[in-house]
Structure 1
Amino acid sequence: MIDLNADLGEGFDRWSLTDDEALLSVVSSANVACGYHAGDPATMRRVCTLAAERGVTIGAHVSYRDLAGFGRRAMDVPADELAAEVAYQIGALQVFARAAGAAVAYVKPHGALYNRTVHDAEQAAAVIEGIRLADPALPVLGLPGSQLLAAAGRSGSTGIPEAFADRAYTPAGTLVSRREAGALVTDPDAVTARSVDLARDHEVTAIDGTRIAMSARSLCLHGDTPGAARLARWIRDALETAGVQVKAFA
């Protein structure tokens, strides 16, 4: 059994990057942008309503405050400020989730913040502090072996290991930088095969061809990956054909 999550609500005003309705018909969990890297109040409300109608679990996709860079630029934010901004984003999404008759059930950092918390213990601890300010019961999605999941464990929070269907891995089990060639996996056959490997065999092929262990409870497909909605359907079909049940972890 594995959760299938996707990044949703990544738009702003009239601009939209993700096919929210199509993805919500496939995924089991929705990482909803909270306004710092993408998203606005109307978009957040709409996605929460659609997710609740379809029985999709809602998660807060928190980020550095970086609309212009889509949250993918490295930033140095003081720990106390970052904790407050994480709590602020979760609180904003909680309003719209409750109004839709649902709840925010987990948190996932986005982009540069996600990557920073793999190695940076201080920033990881600040993210966990922000989550606990909003709701100490909220679990957090993160890379296996990351400082983020370690900080969650130290604080008494629940850390959920996550893998990526559409991103390349280094032999060390970290994500290949988006600045490098081959960082994004877009071939449908490769994406579906990797998804089954991750869910059933708990392994993935790194960018150099080596096989590495990768135990995860949730599998992510980026909403801004080209053809994401079709890929999500192919992933889910491949998983179910392989005997893997797709179900939200939260």
Structure 2
Amino acid sequence: MSSHATPEPSASGRKPITLHRLREMHAAGERITMLTCYDATFARVLDEAGVECLLVGDSLGMVLQGRPSTLPVSLDEVAYHTECVARGNRSAWLIADMPFGCYQESKEQALRSAVRLMRAGAQMVKIEGGGWTPETVRFLVDRGVPVCAHLGLTPQSVHALGGYRIQGRDEDGAATLRRHAAELADAGAAMLVLELIPSTLASEVTRALPQLMTIGIGAGPECAGQVLVLQDMLGLTRGKLPRFVRNFMQGAGSIDEAIRTYVQDVKNGRFPDPQLHGY
């Protein structure tokens, strides 16, 4: 037995975003907005500002915990922050990262980890990498777990990649990324984060795989949507930031205004600027 009552809308009056609704937006050519989120307060702010997707990223290890990479982040920690975000969220689509070590061992391990995150409130899980991952993606999708894939710079593989470098610049690397994206789409991934790759390559993947909602971060303006780390786009992160980051607090009178500007600029194609934020 299950209840089919309509979920309560957000304070903005927006109906809950579903995977079906995201696909409708993608088919209509409307760009999708996504930001990282780790707590209930910002979940409410982002939701009411019109952000469609909230990502509980393992970036919390660097942003909240001060760690040098995402690798130490545990499944328990992502589940905890997913619960926090779910409590503050009313209508945005909620995605949770599968942290390093919680899905590499076997498909069954991946399912157990995904179940944990979905019980915490996630509506989709994100898995990094290609090549070996499509089998895991298919296993999860066949069991009712929506999956967002992630190619290009995959932070959990930072040591294998030799640091935070642009991926897919040579033809071999680009061909591999195109093949991996096609395999992930065939396995049933609904979304694909493309991080730190040439804009032309991201555009090729987006056009070649229309069933896949590509979400760019340092991948140019032609993806189906965009994502940034919340603290980066609010100008809170100290140190040198990647060129694909824009500080939306500049010229804004409030955090709410900065986030609404981000949503509007992604929708209108003003962000990312291909000259300022692309590769």
The normalised TM-score by structure 2 is 0.46
**Letter of the 1:25 counterpart:** E
- Is the 8 Å Cα contact of residues 153 and 159 (structure 1) preserved in structure 2? yes
What pairs up with 1:146-185 in 2 under 5 angstroms? 146=178, 148-155=180-187, 157-163=188-194, 168-170=196-198, 173=201
**Hey, what's the Cα distance between the residues in 2 that align with 1:40 and 1:129?**
23
* Residue 83 of structure 1: how far off its partner (Å): 3.0
Residue 74 of structure 2 aligns to a residue in which SS? coil
Counting matched residue pairs gives 170
Q: Is 1:3–1:218's contact at 8 Å kept on the other side of the alignment?
A: yes
Let me know the Cα RMSD of the aligned residues. 4.2
Larger Rg: 2
Q: Is contact 1:7-1:31 (8 Å) kept?
A: yes
Give the CA deviation at 1:95.
1.3
Q: Aligned-pair distance for 1:45?
A: 1.5
> Do the aligned partners of 2:83 and 2:120 also contact (CA within 8 Å) in 1?
yes
CA distance in 1, matches of 2:234, 2:270: 25
What percent of counterpart residues are identical?
9
**Secondary structure of 1:236's aligned partner:** helix
Asked if 1:64 is matched to 2:100, the reply is yes
Gap change, CA 1:125 and 1:226, over 3 Å in 2: same
Whether the 8 Å CA contact 2:82–2:96 is kept in 1: the answer is no
The separation in 2 between residues aligned to 1:214 and 1:226, in whole angstroms, is 16
Shift of 1:135: 2.1
Would the aligned equivalents of 2:86 and 2:94 in 1 still touch at CA under 8 Å?
A: yes
Question: For the structure 1 residues 59 and 224, does the alpha-carbon distance in structure 2 shift closer, same or farther, using more than 3 Å as the test?
Answer: same
For 1:22 and 1:172, the matched residues in 2 are separated by 33
Q: What 5-or-longer segments of structure 2 have no aligned partner? A: 1-29, 59-72, 153-176, 203-213, 236-247, 250-257, 272-279
Work out whether 1:8 is the aligned partner of 2:37: yes
Local SS of the residue matching 1:135: coil
With normalisation by structure 1, the TM-score equals 0.50
The unaligned stretches of length 5 or more in structure 1 are 67-76, 98-102, 175-201, 207-211, 245-250
Higher relative strand content = 1
The higher relative CO (CA closer than 8 Å, separation ≥ 6) is in 1
Q: In the superposition, relative to structure 1, how do residues 50 and 60 fare at CA in structure 2: closer, same or farther (>3 Å)?
A: same
